[in-house]
């Protein structure tokens, strides 16, 4: 019987979670499970201290990567969504006004929707049909009751980058807090909190930081009034055990319960890998493969590509549609026939698709990573050409 050759698998769903991960990530996680295993900060024995060191090293790695001067300002959460929820629910009260953009993920829109029902006022700044943010519109939407501006740093749907420095400038000038969703950008784009002091930066560990799923966090800047910012949960922290009240210091105030140390150990290795390789080098590679993908897709008849043309103004996230074809069918064909894995539909961001004019059908999203090769992009382009030809 002739053997059936399976195509080489091409993973283009890195905006959902990056894969593969650097080998060091798996090794660090295995090392923790086999050699450490203990609960950090709950005791003075050697393995507990070793676990606490691993967690602290992860804080240091993240702080160093993102230019945060105090590693204790790095608070770990279950994921980016948990970090965003903590900030939004912790800081906004009925009667407060918050400003967000029309490119946000549901991890921002849904908590804001729930808060709106409790009396928080929300303005959504309209972005362009390419998904770009007019910062002056953010400024115009501020009112005396505005407490918070919340904006993504880079769109998970179409890859558009938002101008961080300008957002920081507006927030500082008007004395409102700025919460940035850096789920797609932390590790992919240079972020230096010394130069762009974002008040609250929510990150996820499992995307461009190359950690495992179940990791993420919030970096809480010095302008945030921690006393007026309650955590979502209270519980054991390993500190002030004699008290029945939650500690009021960072990071313990926001880190109740046993942390995901195995995940955090992997995350530290992922961030270390990113720092060794260098964000600029990763960015240069991702920009080059993205430019190749964009130009190839644009040459294909019957394919519509969304977002800005200039690869320097976007993440390695590309949204397209084959005219007249359901994105889910296209993605299914790409997977089944060509081993190309991507994400069709709305990517958990309906408001972003409304902005781009692709709601409700959405689009096919290819998202690349530091591991994506030019050859894989070429194979993906040939596959799209075929599925576009047979629509």
Q: Are 158 and 353 in contact (CB under 8 A)?
A: no
Min dist. Cβ of residue 224 to another protein (A): 15
Q: Is there binding between residue 327 and another protein (CB under 8 A)?
A: no
Binding segment (CB under 8 A) for another protein, from list 21-29, 48-56, 114-122, 348-356? 48-56
Q: Which is nearer to another protein, 132 or 252 (CB)?
A: 252
Min dist. Cβ of residue 29 to another protein (A): 21
Out of 22, 41, 212, 231, the only residue in the binding site for another protein (CB under 8 A) is: 41
Q: Are 148 and 119 in contact (CB under 8 A)?
A: no
Q: Which is nearer to another protein, 69 or 310 (CB)?
A: 69
Residues 6 or more apart from 375 whose CB is under 8 A from it? none
Distance of CA 255 to the CA centre of its chain: 20
Specify whether the backbone of 126 is left (phi greater than 0), alpha (psi in -120 to 50) or beta.
beta
Out of 21, 59, 207, 365, the only residue in the binding site for another protein (CB under 8 A) is: 59
153: preceding bond cis by omega (within 30 degrees):
no
| DSSP-assigned states of every residue in 151-186 | EESB-TTT-BBP-HHHHHHHHHHTT-EEEEE-TTTB
Min dist. Cβ of residue 49 to another protein (A): 6
Distance of CA 221 to the CA centre of its chain: 18
DSSP 32: I
318 forms bridges with which residues in the sheet?
366
Residues 6 or more apart from 386 whose CB is under 8 A from it? none
CA distances (Å), 58 to each of 84, 223, 269, 272, 376, in order? 20, 23, 8, 9, 32
Min dist. Cβ of residue 37 to another protein (A): 17
Q: Which is nearer to another protein, 165 or 240 (CB)?
A: 240
Out of 24, 64, 72, 288, the only residue in the binding site for another protein (CB under 8 A) is: 72
Which active-site residues does the annotation give?
Answer: 348
Q: Is there binding between residue 71 and another protein (CB under 8 A)?
A: yes
Q: 173 to 192, contacts with another protein by CB under 8 A?
A: none
314 forms bridges with which residues in the sheet?
160
Min dist. Cβ of residue 252 to another protein (A): 5
Q: 212 to 271, contacts with another protein by CB under 8 A?
A: 237-242, 247, 249, 251-252
Cα atoms in the 13 Å half-sphere on the side-chain side of 153: 27
Q: Which is nearer to another protein, 46 or 276 (CB)?
A: 46
Q: Which is nearer to another protein, 21 or 73 (CB)?
A: 73
Out of 31, 47, 60, 122, the only residue in the binding site for another protein (CB under 8 A) is: 60
Q: How many residues at the interface with another protein, by CB under 8 A?
A: 25
Q: Is there binding between residue 61 and another protein (CB under 8 A)?
A: no
Q: Which is nearer to another protein, 272 or 369 (CB)?
A: 272
Residue ranges that bind another protein, judged by CB under 8 A: 40-41, 43-45, 49, 52-53, 55-56, 59-60, 70-72, 237-242, 247, 249, 251-252
């Amino acid at each position: 019987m002739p053997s059936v050759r399976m195509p080489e698998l091409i993973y283009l769903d890195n905006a959902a979670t990056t894969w593969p991960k650097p080998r060091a990530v798996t090794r660090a996680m295995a090392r923790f499970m086999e050699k450490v295993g203990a609960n950090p900060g709950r005791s003075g024995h050697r393995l507990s201290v070793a676990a606490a060191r691993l967690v602290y090293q992860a804080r240091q790695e993240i702080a160093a990567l993102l230019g945060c001067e105090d590693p204790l300002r790095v608070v770990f959460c279950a994921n980016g969504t948990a970090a965003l929820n903590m900030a939004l629910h912790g800081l906004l009260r009925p009667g407060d006004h918050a400003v967000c953009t029309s490119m946000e993920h549901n991890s921002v829109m849904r908590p804001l929707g729930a808060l709106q029902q409790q009396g928080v006022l929300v303005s959504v700044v309209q972005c362009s049909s390419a998904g770009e943010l007019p910062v002056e519109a953010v400024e115009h939407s501020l009112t005396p009751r505005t407490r918070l501006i919340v904006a993504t740093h880079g769109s998970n749907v179409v890859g558009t980058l938002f101008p961080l420095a300008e957002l920081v400038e507006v927030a500082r000038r008007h004395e409102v807090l700025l919460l940035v969703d850096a789920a797609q950008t932390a590790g992919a784009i240079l972020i230096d909190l010394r130069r762009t002091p974002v008040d609250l930066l929510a990150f996820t560990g499992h995307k461009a930081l190359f950690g495992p799923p179940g990791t993420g966090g919030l970096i809480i800047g010095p302008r945030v009034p921690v006393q007026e910012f309650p955590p979502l949960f209270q519980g054991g922290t390993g500190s002030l055990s004699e008290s029945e009240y939650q500690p009021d210091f960072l990071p313990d105030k926001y880190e109740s319960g046993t942390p995901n140390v195995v995940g955090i150990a992997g995350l530290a290795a992922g961030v270390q890998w990113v720092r060794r390789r260098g964000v600029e080098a990763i960015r240069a590679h991702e920009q080059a493969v993205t430019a190749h993908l964009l130009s190839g897709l644009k040459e294909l008849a019957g394919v519509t590509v969304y977002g800005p043309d200039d690869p320097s103004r976007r993440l390695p996230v590309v949204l397209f549609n084959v005219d007249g074809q359901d994105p889910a069918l296209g993605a299914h064909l790409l997977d089944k026939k060509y081993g190309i894995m991507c994400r069709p539909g709305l990517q958990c961001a309906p408001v972003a698709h409304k902005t781009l004019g692709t709601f409700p059908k959405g689009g096919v999203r290819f998202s690349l990573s530091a591991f994506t090769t030019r050859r894989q992009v070429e194979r993906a382009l040939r596959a799209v050409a075929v599925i576009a030809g047979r629509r």
